[in-house]
A and B are shown apart, each in its own frame.
Chain A
């Protein structure tokens, strides 16, 4: 277990991957970078917050898309001027960014505090209800959105060319990944994992269990909000349907495809999802077996089903198990 072993391991591979992604815009087509990869990074960043909460906090949250949406709606409300709907505050885009992040974080504080006493399946269902409340809040309160949502949202000038949005997504993804990884070694991260494994013990040790859960939820909400900002800049609009129950479950599915217990799985899941969404129907002969673009959901459903049958840890779980198994077999062979 020396430095060399470390450097040949995961971090080096990931650094290589990041370097490759940085160079990608010179290698790939505009569509691949600005559509496929940018969407992958945005969805991956949002799904990573689900993984973070699940992995370190033991909370499977369906409220992350809501946080994502709140940030988007708030940016639209603050930045637009003279649009058809919303508050039309007409602020400077970066002031709007600040506003969106503050509101999202505050919402996360309130929702996190209420949810902090539940865990497991109860937490999942409570956060699903959060998502539904959020949907109706934006659908019914016309002052901040209304059913038609907020349209013609422009991104700040700094991010004008589409490729910069890609780089922004990459930067935030790398920061979130490194940040979440680093966090688990901090006092807070360790306590959070303790809370995940045995809340009663941690409480009796004097740890404030609900506070730790709330703080984790707030952090995840903040990061999901950043992803939500990227999303409205990428998409140009947001409406209540963007955060309805369907997309909410899709984000969970993305986290599940990659592997809900590994951070990098979030981006892997997003990549697989976007690839299937974009390219499946272009495959030759695939329509012969009844798979057209109209049956996209069936394909996604079957993929998730297969993954969950094979391994609850998703694609990264499957990928990890394969080499380990062969190594073990070899070891066993030499010993025998």
Chain B
């Protein structure tokens, strides 16, 4: 019996092997064997050809799981608002953006939402989600993704699939534009380093910090955020005396805090520790080094009170880098119009800042995640207007996108030669409001920040890391140009 079985499995394997060989030879002759699956290019899924004649088939990449899973509603709403404002779209639901929209059209070209991708903050997952949108649902324009490593993966995907057009969502890694250089990948907002720009100038020249210690998460976004600060602070003559990078997932930060110099040995600290680490690391600091004296601390967007709702009141006084939008104390007519438009588009949106409970849409709209996807949506509309709704010539379409300058509520945005945003960065300070809550107060707006930092970062330099960039003085185009903000009013 066992011999028969062995023979049977032998027969099975021989059959399989021969058949595979045959199939392999068939596929090996030529690239055009006629198999539907044998296509190098994507975009033809389910018999809906990509291309200009059918209009825009839009896919949005969000995150419905992982640390930013709560922002899924926010980001989809961001793009939807842009299309509602400028392309005549009507949301299918008055209490959620995830239901999609209808009736969007620009210059006679309809925009159809074919799907919403659901990432989980990993590059693997987002690649699978974008393939589903493009290859199964036939999307030809993608808006997203949300986070740094995802951005690199999607930029690589865009490079390999030149027939799609990607407007990045709010992903903050440098490499997605600076290194990957996909000609069809556009980012109409800043990156993680840009959001720290201007802080060094302010702290060194205004607050008199000469030396600083940096503590940041040991992964791409922490490195990038710290790199922007270091480049800026060192450029104006400051010195970074210590860099500590606790690994992601650290529970007890005390041993890493112990590696920092004491408060009397250094002028200040720059923090880029996210998630539960923001509070845990600060608490470890209080435990080991002494009480927080706000003016000795600065942080990246992880100090944003909307993200770090758990922070104690001791952090009041610290400076905070920017993140796409400006804090709520700045209210220009453009910003008011934008927030009113959000409130007019839906009754409520269950965004992350309201704990995913229904809240006025303007709550979500005033925050960076929503706004990044909004700028991408506006870029889509304006680029279509620029080419008269005709995207049959992709090169011309992409050239038109590159030349766009968007006049947006939180400042003008144009693209550099790597198709990455040149933006205004709002710097703020944490203060206690009357209710005892920690809120942001805008102190300055730094105009025209680009991702190269005067040559510190270029396509030939390594990615920001534990040792890169080194601390060097250099000329930054925006030093001295910061516009002070007093009581929410930009001066001049």
A–B touching in complex (CB under 8 Å):
yes
Mark A residues whose CB is within 8 Å of B. Answer: 1, 3, 6-7, 11, 14-15, 18-19, 22, 25-26, 28-35, 39, 84-85, 136, 139-140, 142, 146-149, 151-152, 160-164, 166-167, 170-171, 174-175, 178, 181-182, 185, 235-239, 241-242, 247, 277-278, 281, 292-294, 296-297
Contact check, A31 vs B31: say whether CB atoms are below 8 A apart: no
Contact residues, B232-249 vs A (CB, 8 A): 247-248
Closest 3 CB pairs of A and B: A294-B64, A147-B219, A33-B37
Determine the residue in chain A with the shortest Cβ distance to B22: A22
How far does the alpha carbon of A71 sit from the alpha carbon of B248 in the complex, in Å?
A: 24
Contact check, B9 vs A181: say whether CB atoms are below 8 A apart: yes
What's the minimum C-beta distance from B453 to chain A, rounded to whole angstroms? 18
Residues in A with CB closer than 8 Å to B35 are: 25-26, 163
How far does the alpha carbon of A151 sit from the alpha carbon of B160 in the complex, in Å?
A: 12
Contact check, B247 vs A31: say whether CB atoms are below 8 A apart: no
Contact check, B135 vs A35: say whether CB atoms are below 8 A apart: yes
- 17 further contact pairs, Cβ within 8 A, besides A174-B17, A238-B124: A15-B11, A22-B23, A25-B36, A31-B45, A32-B37, A84-B175, A85-B463, A151-B123, A161-B38, A162-B37, A162-B40, A163-B35, A235-B127, A281-B118, A292-B64, A294-B118, A296-B65
What's the minimum C-beta distance from B485 to chain A, rounded to whole angstroms? 35
Tell me which of B150-158, B164-172, B373-381 binds A: B150-158
How far does the alpha carbon of A278 sit from the alpha carbon of B248 in the complex, in Å?
A: 30
Query: At the interface, yes or no: B206 with Cβ under 8 Å from chain A?
Result: no
How far does the alpha carbon of A3 sit from the alpha carbon of B37 in the complex, in Å?
A: 38
Contact check, A152 vs B37: say whether CB atoms are below 8 A apart: no
Contact check, A34 vs B1: say whether CB atoms are below 8 A apart: no
Contact check, A151 vs B156: say whether CB atoms are below 8 A apart: yes
Q: Name 25 interchain pairs, CB-CB below 8 A, sorted by A.
A: A1-B1, A11-B8, A11-B11, A22-B23, A26-B34, A30-B36, A30-B38, A31-B132, A139-B219, A147-B149, A151-B152, A152-B159, A162-B38, A164-B24, A174-B13, A175-B13, A236-B156, A237-B156, A238-B124, A239-B122, A239-B123, A241-B122, A292-B64, A293-B116, A293-B118
Query: At the interface, yes or no: B220 with Cβ under 8 Å from chain A?
Result: yes
Contact residues, B215-241 vs A (CB, 8 A): 218-220
Residues in A with CB closer than 8 Å to B22 are: 22
How far does the alpha carbon of A105 sit from the alpha carbon of B31 in the complex, in Å?
A: 34
Contact check, B16 vs A174: say whether CB atoms are below 8 A apart: yes
Contact residues, B13-70 vs A (CB, 8 A): 13, 15-17, 19-20, 22-24, 27, 31, 34-40, 44-47, 64-65, 69
Determine the residue in chain B with the shortest Cβ distance to A174: B16
Residues in A with CB closer than 8 Å to B15 are: 15, 18-19
Contact check, B37 vs A163: say whether CB atoms are below 8 A apart: yes
Determine the residue in chain A with the shortest Cβ distance to B24: A167
Determine the residue in chain B with the shortest Cβ distance to A148: B220
What's the minimum C-beta distance from A133 to chain B, rounded to whole angstroms? 13
Residues in A with CB closer than 8 Å to B40 are: 160-162
Residues in A with CB closer than 8 Å to B2 are: 185
- Per a CB cutoff under 8 Å, which of A14, A152, A292 touches B156? A152
How far does the alpha carbon of A224 sit from the alpha carbon of B465 in the complex, in Å?
A: 31
What's the minimum C-beta distance from A44 to chain B, rounded to whole angstroms? 15
Query: At the interface, yes or no: B435 with Cβ under 8 Å from chain A?
Result: no
What's the minimum C-beta distance from A284 to chain B, rounded to whole angstroms? 15
What's the minimum C-beta distance from A40 to chain B, rounded to whole angstroms? 13
Determine the residue in chain A with the shortest Cβ distance to B38: A163
Determine the residue in chain A with the shortest Cβ distance to B19: A22
What's the minimum C-beta distance from A165 to chain B, rounded to whole angstroms? 10
Residues in B with CB closer than 8 Å to A146 are: 465
Query: At the interface, yes or no: B288 with Cβ under 8 Å from chain A?
Result: no
Residues in B with CB closer than 8 Å to A11 are: 8-9, 11-12
- Per a CB cutoff under 8 Å, which of A151, A167, A292 touches B153? A151
How far does the alpha carbon of A257 sit from the alpha carbon of B98 in the complex, in Å?
A: 31
How far does the alpha carbon of A18 sit from the alpha carbon of B179 in the complex, in Å?
A: 43
How far does the alpha carbon of A136 sit from the alpha carbon of B250 in the complex, in Å?
A: 12
Query: At the interface, yes or no: B462 with Cβ under 8 Å from chain A?
Result: yes
Contact check, B136 vs A31: say whether CB atoms are below 8 A apart: yes
Contact check, B45 vs A30: say whether CB atoms are below 8 A apart: yes
Residues in B with CB closer than 8 Å to A281 are: 118
Residues in B with CB closer than 8 Å to A34 are: 37, 135
Contact check, B13 vs A178: say whether CB atoms are below 8 A apart: yes
Contact check, A170 vs B20: say whether CB atoms are below 8 A apart: yes
One digit per residue, 1 when the CB lies within 8 angstroms of any chain A CB and 0 when it does not, for chain B 448-477 equals 000000000000001101100000000000
Given contacts A25-B35, A34-B37, A142-B466, contact A18 B16 (CB under 8 A): yes
Residues in B with CB closer than 8 Å to A170 are: 20
Contact check, B27 vs A278: say whether CB atoms are below 8 A apart: no
How far does the alpha carbon of A85 sit from the alpha carbon of B2 in the complex, in Å?
A: 52
Contact check, B135 vs A163: say whether CB atoms are below 8 A apart: no
Residues in A with CB closer than 8 Å to B132 are: 31, 35, 278
How far does the alpha carbon of A242 sit from the alpha carbon of B149 in the complex, in Å?
A: 12
Contact check, B127 vs A19: say whether CB atoms are below 8 A apart: no
What's the minimum C-beta distance from B17 to chain A, rounded to whole angstroms? 8
Query: At the interface, yes or no: B131 with Cβ under 8 Å from chain A?
Result: yes
Contact check, B219 vs A242: say whether CB atoms are below 8 A apart: no
How far does the alpha carbon of A147 sit from the alpha carbon of B223 in the complex, in Å?
A: 10
How far does the alpha carbon of A239 sit from the alpha carbon of B219 in the complex, in Å?
A: 11
Residues in A with CB closer than 8 Å to B136 are: 29, 31, 35, 278
Residues in A with CB closer than 8 Å to B4 are: 3, 6
How far does the alpha carbon of A219 sit from the alpha carbon of B128 in the complex, in Å?
A: 29
Q: Which of A19, A162, A278 has the most CB of B within 10 A?
A: A162
Residues in A with CB closer than 8 Å to B65 are: 294, 296-297
Residues in A with CB closer than 8 Å to B204 are: none
What's the minimum C-beta distance from B13 to chain A, rounded to whole angstroms? 4
Contact check, B5 vs A6: say whether CB atoms are below 8 A apart: yes
Contact check, A171 vs B20: say whether CB atoms are below 8 A apart: yes
What's the minimum C-beta distance from A187 to chain B, rounded to whole angstroms? 13
Residues in B with CB closer than 8 Å to A148 are: 149, 152, 173, 175, 219-220, 463
Given contacts A84-B462, A162-B40, A163-B38, contact A178 B19 (CB under 8 A): no
Contact check, B20 vs A237: say whether CB atoms are below 8 A apart: no
Determine the residue in chain B with the shortest Cβ distance to A2: B4
Contact check, A296 vs B118: say whether CB atoms are below 8 A apart: yes
Contact check, A140 vs B247: say whether CB atoms are below 8 A apart: yes
Query: At the interface, yes or no: B429 with Cβ under 8 Å from chain A?
Result: no
Residues in B with CB closer than 8 Å to A26 are: 34-36
What's the minimum C-beta distance from A316 to chain B, rounded to whole angstroms? 18
- Per a CB cutoff under 8 Å, which of B98, B118, B123 touches A237? B123
Contact check, A235 vs B462: say whether CB atoms are below 8 A apart: no
What's the minimum C-beta distance from A254 to chain B, rounded to whole angstroms? 15
How far does the alpha carbon of A293 sit from the alpha carbon of B19 in the complex, in Å?
A: 38
Residues in A with CB closer than 8 Å to B98 are: 292
How far does the alpha carbon of A277 sit from the alpha carbon of B466 in the complex, in Å?
A: 37
Query: At the interface, yes or no: B419 with Cβ under 8 Å from chain A?
Result: no
Residues in B with CB closer than 8 Å to A242 are: 122-124
Query: At the interface, yes or no: B72 with Cβ under 8 Å from chain A?
Result: yes
Contact residues, B174-205 vs A (CB, 8 A): 175, 179-180
